[in-house]
Structure 1
Amino acid sequence: MVARTSSLLVRNTTLFITVIFATVSGILFGYDSGYINGVMAMDFFDNMHLSTLSLKATPARSSPQLLVTTRKDKVKLVGALSLGTFFGSFAGSDLADWVGRRTVLLLGTIFYTIGVLDQFLSNEINWLARGRFEAGIGMGAISAVVVVYLVETSRSDWRGWLVMIYQTAITLGMFVSSGVTFSTMSLWDMRSYQIPIGLQFVWVGLLFVLILFLPESPRWYVKTGQVDRARYTLSRLTGKPLGDEELEDEVGGMLEEVERDRKKFKWAQESPLGHSCEYTLRQAFFESWSCCWWGKASNPGSHFRRTLLATMIMIFQQLIGVNIVFYFAISVFKQHKFDHDPFRLALILAGVNVLSTLLCCYPVLALRRRVLLIGGALAMAVCQLTVGITTWTWYWSGDNKSAEHSPTWLLVLTMVGMGCYVIFFAGTWGPGAWILIGEIFPTQIRARAVGIATAANWATNSVICYLMPVLIEPDGRDIGLGVFTITGILSLFAAAYVYLCVPETEGKTLEELAFFFAHGPGYEMATAAHLDDDASSEAAVSPLTLIPSKGKKNTLS
């Protein structure tokens, strides 16, 4: 009885730390993504020659100076982070299979801290961009591994909640960054942007400490042949004592899943459970990545099909336009001559993002994944097309050229439309896309495949960071909020893609999904008889591996 109570206490403590870890990592992600929007629009930052000023220089408000944050500079500052995260996602996901999920998270925080330090000390654009690139490498590694870690260390009934907490924390981080930049925008010295940058030290320091108290993923231990450590970690996560029958069944299921995938690939056969002995490290490296592309695109159960699906979901998550709002909203509000403080308008949108994510937690987890993504994309398309077509039409009319400020009705329409868009994104594609890509891969390729999808997300983000200033800035195409017409059409394509290609994954354990995914959209969970019928197909696996024993609940899947 005492042992059981002690195990439950350890489990609850670990779960609490994991929840806080998901929260802080999300805040860090959101804060870092959001603060540059406000910094680029600050009067001091926008009007000083960073390349010629010393750290103590404070140019007079009235002195005429060339704007340093031109379109090229904005692309450089926003794109540097995205470029760094692209490379960090690949590096982090690869290292996660070799040295462990937890170790990569620690390394990511170290790289991120170095980047923040460079940003804080910078006094010119290129230096600041270099710091954002360095921080991006760390953020890319963290963002690629954190979802994998949460999925692999949580029970099936907690899996969606933890990812939802992570997504909610991202929106909270964006809101905090908007609030901080709103508070410091009136400072006419380098504190105006150094304070928002410096606060990142708080989040990354807290994250580093939390990771020290977290266990390694039991599935990674099984994958690397450390079965005893996997049992101990699983006992810590589930609150079941060592030797418990259900715990042993759980470990057995993980062993069977890894062994089944291992037999498909030469690089994983040279030693038990995935680490190469006679095979060279170079061969193992390239062939382990090639596992993510195993099979044919026409086979729904192939690794290639799953990797392609996750990659497309992440690309569409960017193409539907959310980061246009949180990267460039203040600049667009200024351009459209709204008679309200653009910082305040951006802060309102960030607050709507947080509240809608909180209110949508239960619907996100209660609704089926396909319904969530299809419905969300269609609703966002309506909001975007309404705002885009209306504002574009007015902006290019004669009324715009003669007006000192945009009319009130246009401001109301824009804020309502963008607010509804943010609500639908926060309640659907924001968390839903991350939950989906964390569920669909087997243990053998999960870290690398999620890394590929995350890298695709950041690569698309980089393209958007380059294109948006070209489209919306006065020295570019100057279409302003009309850009939402384009993203609205892309949202319709996203809905069509999910309808045609994405199967339902809600309510399934990771082991069940290994079979379930092979049967396409709308297919309900197969029975053991169906499994036997498909035993000869390329994607078929053993029914004993996928279907838990009767009367026993798979507690960590």
Structure 2
Amino acid sequence: MNGKPEKNGAISTQSNLPIPDFDPPKIPKRNKYALACSFLASMTSVLLGYDIGVMSGAIIYIQKDLKISDVQKEVIMGIFSLYSLIGSTIAGRTSDGIGRRLTIVFAGAIFFIGALLMGFATNYAFLMVGRLVAGIGVGYALMIAPVYTAELAPASCRGFLLSFPEAFINVGILLGYVSNLAFSKLPLNLGWRLMLGIGIVPSLLLIIVVFFMPESPRWLVLQGRLGEAKRVLDKTSDSSEESKLRLADIKEAAGIPEHCNDDVVSVSKQHHGEGVWRELLLHPTPTVRHILLCALGLHFFEMASGIESVVLYSPEIFRKAGIKNNTDILVATMAVGFVKLVFISVATFFLDKIGRRPLLLTSVGGCSICLMALATGLTIVENSDHRLTWAVIFCVVSLLFYVSIFACGLGPITWVYGSEIFPLRLRAQGCSLAIASNRITSALFSMTFISLYKAITIGGAFFLYSGITAIAWVFIYTLFPETKGRTLEEMESLFGSFFSWRSTSRALMENNSGDDLKS
């Protein structure tokens, strides 16, 4: 026998098998260069997270110092989302013109100026100007981080890398909460200004790290810079074969002949952004219409689920739940940020294993149940004439469960899915539209939360959010195909049928049959 002895003494006969091309399966390793670049780009999302987190606590002291009303409080909290809408709308065209990388610099620089203005604000109007400038910077950041990451990441770990922006939003939220607690004991007129002004630190770091990042290979191809694109793809792909395939797919999507191998080629003006809005809004194909509906709808439901109200107004919610001391409220609020950050790792590590659709449906269903539980607890507390300790605990636990389940799916997958499904030629502006949906919805719900719960009670507000989230589950189940493992250039083939569980089942059958053939 020609076999070799195994460790247990058995004889292996595999060497006699006539399989010269046998290649045992290997566990794929994450591309470290792509991971590092995605990590750095996603730091832009810290800007939004920090503002959300820090304002939730700072507003307590701003209201006392500047003597503002509840309506002014709602406006200054929620209008930031409308301001960021300006930035995200402009950012689509900017990133097509000057590149994804320089757009990140814009985001950091604009937020830096806004943080300075807020830190030195002497009155309500001055503070609003600072929030306008910072909001535009955040809008740039929200649009560019997922687009850059989607275009850089290999398909094998795109879901993992695209969850980074949401993770960094949560890092920013937690940093904002920590800032609240750290500066809460300072004099009233100084504490909240330091809370807001310290936001210059993450924006400065962002501007610095950009110089260590390459440009997006897909943007480089759209500019005809094929040589540079190839070098970036070689570094961010799992193998040289994958790099060649990715470059060929991008060239095909950009309308560049496959045989063209020059380092620099001329491209049509269409690939610099012209005609994109017409194709997106005026004359969309059924496929583009389906993609647009999924992206805008998912961003709408992410904010309509009430997450912005929970994060921005968590001190208010905890007070309504029966916690009265400001320090205790800030500590409980920090727990929200910590839980949200910890549980996002679940989605981060399972997106490319389980898939987008199962995680999304599980998360949305769980959010609806938790919101109903929170609404029930708040209603009991509100209608009790004495403090019910068990009801207070029930409210806090329900809220923490809600943010953890949100962080496991709906939060990160919204940004993953919305960034990867648009065709290359439409990606920047398409993502801008999706983020516009996100920011408008965020503004609508955050600017009306206090008025809403005064009109229908705090419990009624969360019953409403629970109902909206239940509708979101039906919407996702009906329209959303699975995108796990697909290249960005393959996405269009998944859309067009508005009953997407059928296309998902068909894709799964195709994958399974392909695996059977390989085995």
| TM-score, normalised by the number of residues in structure 2 | 0.84
1:205 maps to: 204
Partners of 1:349 and 1:422 within 8 A in 2: yes
- Equivalent of 2:503 in 516, 523, 526: 523
The 1:83–1:246 alpha-carbon spacing in structure 2 relative to 1, beyond 3 Å, is closer
Deviation at 1:467, TM superposition (A): 1.1
Instruction: Say if 2:309 is the partner of 1:324.
Output: yes
Deviation at 1:176, TM superposition (A): 1.7
| In 1, Cα distance between equivalents of 2:269 and 2:99 | 13
1:38 maps to: 57
Instruction: Say if 2:458 is the partner of 1:480.
Output: yes
The 1:251–1:526 alpha-carbon spacing in structure 2 relative to 1, beyond 3 Å, is farther
1:377 maps to: 364
Query: Which residue identity does 1:414 align to in structure 2?
Result: C
Percent identity at matched positions?
Answer: 23
The 1:489–1:149 alpha-carbon spacing in structure 2 relative to 1, beyond 3 Å, is same
Query: Which residue identity does 1:200 align to in structure 2?
Result: G
1:125 maps to: 124
The 1:360–1:442 alpha-carbon spacing in structure 2 relative to 1, beyond 3 Å, is closer
- Equivalent of 1:468 in 427, 446, 449: 449
| In 2, Cα distance between equivalents of 1:105 and 1:23 | 10
The 1:304–1:224 alpha-carbon spacing in structure 2 relative to 1, beyond 3 Å, is farther
Query: Which residue identity does 2:95 align to in structure 1?
Result: A
Q: Deviations over 1:17-66 (max 9, x none)?
A: 41441452233321122110000123xx3322x3xxxxxxxxxxxxxxxx
| In 1, Cα distance between equivalents of 2:241 and 2:342 | 43
The 1:342–1:417 alpha-carbon spacing in structure 2 relative to 1, beyond 3 Å, is same
2:353 maps to: 366
- Equivalent of 1:452 in 428, 433, 455: 433
2:24 maps to: none
2:414 maps to: 433
Partners of 2:344 and 2:404 within 8 A in 1: yes
- Equivalent of 2:374 in 364, 370, 387: 387
Deviation at 1:14, TM superposition (A): 4.0
- Equivalent of 1:306 in 278, 291, 309: 291
1:54 maps to: none
Partner of 1:366, secondary structure, is coil
Deviation at 1:361, TM superposition (A): 2.9
| In 1, Cα distance between equivalents of 2:94 and 2:42 | 23
Deviation at 1:293, TM superposition (A): 2.9
| In 2, Cα distance between equivalents of 1:218 and 1:525 | 32
- Equivalent of 1:275 in 269, 276, 282: 269
Partners of 1:22 and 1:163 within 8 A in 2: no
Partners of 1:501 and 1:521 within 8 A in 2: yes
The answer to which of 13-22 and 423-432 deviates more is 13-22
Deviation at 1:203, TM superposition (A): 0.6
The 1:366–1:237 alpha-carbon spacing in structure 2 relative to 1, beyond 3 Å, is closer
| In 2, Cα distance between equivalents of 1:388 and 1:377 | 16
Q: Deviations over 1:276-296 (max 9, x none)?
A: 69xxx9xx75x3212223656
| In 2, Cα distance between equivalents of 1:171 and 1:247 | 33
Partners of 1:387 and 1:482 within 8 A in 2: no
Query: Which residue identity does 1:275 align to in structure 2?
Result: K
The 1:362–1:231 alpha-carbon spacing in structure 2 relative to 1, beyond 3 Å, is closer
Query: Which residue identity does 2:489 align to in structure 1?
Result: E
Partner of 1:523, secondary structure, is helix
The 1:23–1:99 alpha-carbon spacing in structure 2 relative to 1, beyond 3 Å, is closer
Query: Which residue identity does 1:293 align to in structure 2?
Result: L
| In 2, Cα distance between equivalents of 1:144 and 1:16 | 19
Partners of 2:481 and 2:504 within 8 A in 1: no
| In 2, Cα distance between equivalents of 1:319 and 1:130 | 27
Partners of 1:224 and 1:274 within 8 A in 2: no
The 1:497–1:478 alpha-carbon spacing in structure 2 relative to 1, beyond 3 Å, is closer
Q: Paired residues, what number?
A: 471
Q: CA RMSD for the aligned pairs?
A: 2.8
2:94 maps to: 95
| In 2, Cα distance between equivalents of 1:514 and 1:459 | 27
Q: Deviations over 1:57-102 (max 9, x none)?
A: xxxxxxxxxxx23222212311231111111111001211122111
1:537 maps to: none
1:24 maps to: 43
The 1:292–1:184 alpha-carbon spacing in structure 2 relative to 1, beyond 3 Å, is same
Deviation at 1:144, TM superposition (A): 0.6
Query: Which residue identity does 1:508 align to in structure 2?
Result: R
Partners of 2:300 and 2:438 within 8 A in 1: yes
The answer to which of 324-333 and 484-493 deviates more is 324-333
1:196 maps to: 195
The 1:328–1:481 alpha-carbon spacing in structure 2 relative to 1, beyond 3 Å, is farther
Instruction: Say if 2:334 is the partner of 1:347.
Output: yes
1:538 maps to: none
Deviation at 1:421, TM superposition (A): 0.5
The 1:450–1:526 alpha-carbon spacing in structure 2 relative to 1, beyond 3 Å, is same
Q: Deviations over 1:479-532 (max 9, x none)?
A: 2243110100001000000011111111211122221234533425879xx9xx
| In 2, Cα distance between equivalents of 1:187 and 1:418 | 29
| In 2, Cα distance between equivalents of 1:246 and 1:185 | 52
Partners of 2:217 and 2:232 within 8 A in 1: yes
Deviation at 1:239, TM superposition (A): 8.2
Partners of 1:382 and 1:488 within 8 A in 2: yes
1:31-430 maps to which residues of 2 (within 5 A)?
31-42=50-61, 45-48=62-65, 50=66, 68-238=67-237, 247-259=243-255, 273-275=267-269, 285=274, 287-293=275-281, 299=286, 301=287, 303-339=288-324, 341-395=328-382, 397=383, 399-400=384-385, 403=386, 406-430=387-411
Partners of 2:82 and 2:443 within 8 A in 1: yes
| In 1, Cα distance between equivalents of 2:300 and 2:233 | 34
| In 2, Cα distance between equivalents of 1:166 and 1:237 | 18
